[in-house]
Every structure is written in C-alpha cells, then in structure tokens.
Amino acid sequence: MLILFGILIVLACVLLGFFVLIQNPKGGGLSASFGGFGNQVMGVRQTTDVLEKGTWVLATIIAVLCLTSSVFIGKGSAEQQAPVLQKSAGSIPQPTTPAQQLPGTVPAK
C-alpha cells in the first residue's frame, strides 16, 4: 500500500512541476506559444484557468496522499518492528557469574 502511495505522490509531483513550468507568471504561458491558434480553439483565458485549476488540484492531491500515507506508515512500521525488538530482547545473554569486586572498594555486607 505504501508503494502505491509513493508512486502516486511522485507522479502528482512531476505533473505539478510540469504545470508550474508551463505557466508564465505574466499571463502568457502556454497560450502565448500557440499564437492565434490558442485564441481560436481554447481561448487565452481558458488555458490559464485550466493550468491554474490543475495546479490547485494536484497540490491538494499531494497533500491528501501525504496525510493518508502517514496513517499506513505508522501501522506498518510498528507491526514490523515489534517482532524484531522481541527477538533482540530475548537474545541478550544473562550474566551467569557473580559480579567481581573492583580493586580498592570495600565489600558490601
């Protein structure tokens, strides 16, 4: 499930970067490169609206996917780490010999 979220987040990020790079900060953007053709088919205003709406939609999708994936990350990592911690706690050797007295200390009575 985490792999699916990761793939979707990366895909949305790439598309968002593409949408942002296409836009011209002064309003020209994609429609300016097509000249008169863009005005006849889609219109200048409609092109910028589609790119702006696409940017907001992709940003929202990324935010929702990141928040949703955090729910699954917490569950998956806790289930996977619990057996490892139990195994490592059970394999710690217990001291079998009594602790030796350090030189220069008085023995406890």
Residues 24-60 have pLDDT tens digits of 766 555 555 555 454 445 555 566 788 889 999 999 9
Residue 7 pLDDT greater than 60, yes or no: yes
Picking from 5, 47, 14, the residue whose alpha carbon sits closest to that of residue 28 is 47
| pLDDT (0 to 100) of residue 66 | 92
Packing angle between helix 2-22 and helix 44-90, nearest 10 degrees?
Answer: 150
> Lowest mean pLDDT: which of 9-13, 27-31, 51-55, 96-100?
27-31
Tokens 């088919």 correspond to what residue? 41
Is 9:66 a contact under the CB 8 Å cutoff? yes
pLDDT: which is higher, 48 or 10: 10
* Residue 1 one-letter amino acid: M
User: Taking all residues of the chain, what is their mean pLDDT, rounded to a whole number?
Assistant: 74
What whole-number distance in Å separates Cα of residue 57 and Cα of residue 50?
Answer: 10
